[in-house]
Amino acid sequence: MMITTKGRNALKIMIDLARHEGEGYISLADIAVRQKESLKYFETSAASLSQAGLVVSARGKSGGYKLARRAEDYTVAEILLSGEGSLAPVHCLESGAVPCENAGTCQTLPLFKELDEVIMKFLSSKTLKDLLK
């Protein structure tokens, strides 16, 4: 499993929004400047966060993004999943993957299933609020 730029940027956006919670809608341009990242890359991640219902967006002069919930109500897992789609360590464990014809005899599958469970348990145990500390 490799966390891509989309997943990392989703986390950066959410952390920034949490740090500025209560300030109303925050422009993506302001977040990109503070995080020293490309606005273009952030636009893709923000769209994924919005589509997943993790942020609320508003257009216009005072528009931007804000958290849809309190920081403690988000898990790192759900934020990363919004950008990554999957955190499975191998393709055959991804949601919706075509079952592998070798799954019944694969000697590595139990290892990767256990790794997948450990990853998800760990990332689900961390909240956005934890990342602010």
Looking at residue 31, which CATH number applies to its domain?
1.10.10.10
The total of structural domains in the chain comes to 1
**Model-level pTM?**
0.90
Nearest to 76, CA basis, from 24, 18, 21, 26:
18
For residues 12 and 31, give the distance between their C-alpha atoms in angstroms, rounded to a whole number. Answer: 9
Work out the average pLDDT over 108-121: 95
What does the pLDDT look like over 66-85, one tens digit per residue? Answer: 999 999 999 999 999 999 98
Task: Specify burial of residue 61 (Cβ count, 10 A radius: 0-12, 13-18, 19+).
Answer: exposed
Q: Kindly write down the DSSP assignment for every residue of 2-51, as one continuous string.
A: ---HHHHHHHHHHHHHHHTTTS--B-HHHHHHHHT--HHHHHHHHHHHHH
Using alpha carbons only, how large is the chain's radius of gyration in Å? 17
Report pLDDT for 79.
Answer: 98
Domain that holds residue 42: 5-131
pLDDT, mean over the chain = 94
Res 99 pLDDT > 90: no
CB 56 within 8 A of CB 68: yes
